[in-house]
Amino acid sequence: MVGNGRPRGWVGPALSIAARELGGYYRTASGWIILALFVFLCGVVFALSTLQPGAVASMRDVFAVSGWLLLPVAPAITMRLIAEELRSGTIEPLLAAPVSSTALVLGKFGGAAAFLVTLMTPTVAHAVVLFRISEPAPDVGPILAGYVSLLLVGGLYLAIGTFASTLTNNSTLAFMTTFFAILGLLFAGAGAGFVPEVVAEPLRAVAVGPRIGDFSRGVIDTSNVAYFVSGSALFLLLAVCVMEWRRWR
């Protein structure tokens, strides 16, 4: 133990918190409803757009729908992460415990990210079916790029949601804050055409849409990867700062 009573590392506590959060999604009806709806809607799109005679052997439509589904799903996953702890008062023992704010935030985010991965895992069956029934076999590149895109985009959305959840004890407000923040990133590029160039350039830089478009073409650009990773890190850092403020105020 160090002098302030906190553990030397944050990895162990973060993993424990992440495991608890992941289990929590499966102990509530909302977690199963989100999982069922996500898998069902992706399956319907796959059946109607891909499993048709003469259809292109591609999962592009599935990835496109999955990306849009993340718009409501990510806020739904993260809205209770810390806001519910603040509302119920259970955040006080956590802040008083020898667990750093970094471990707390990363653990909460890690549990949400693990749940998001479980949402996407069943869609791998679609790719398997596609390879079994298509002749010639589909190109692997766009499929891999699609999954990388979903993971990176989902990670950014969850990081925004984690930050929003630290700001309020109202889960609904955290949901709405995350939802509109994501909408802002999605449509920032479209809004660039209606503002002066000095403002338009930053809007184009933060716009998510064009970067997702690159992945849909099977292109994994390192600059796009850096954008999503650094954006996620920024919002998680902001969440840590808010929790530190709550700890010491």
The per-residue pLDDT for 4 is 47
pTM of the full structure = 0.89
- Which positions of the chain have pLDDT values less than 70? 1-9, 52-57, 189-197, 199, 214, 216-219
Q: Whose CA is closest to 141, among 229, 214, 75, 206?
A: 214
The one-character DSSP state at 122 is G
The per-residue pLDDT for 242 is 93
Question: Does an H or E element contain 81, and which?
Answer: none
CA distances from 193 to 181, 182, 207 (A): 19, 19, 13
> Which residues, including other chains, have CB under 8 Å from residue 86's CB and lie 6 or more apart?
168, 169
Question: In a 3-state reduction of DSSP, which class is residue 90?
Answer: coil
Q: What residue has token string 């409803």?
A: 33
Structure-token pair, residue 79: 């809205």
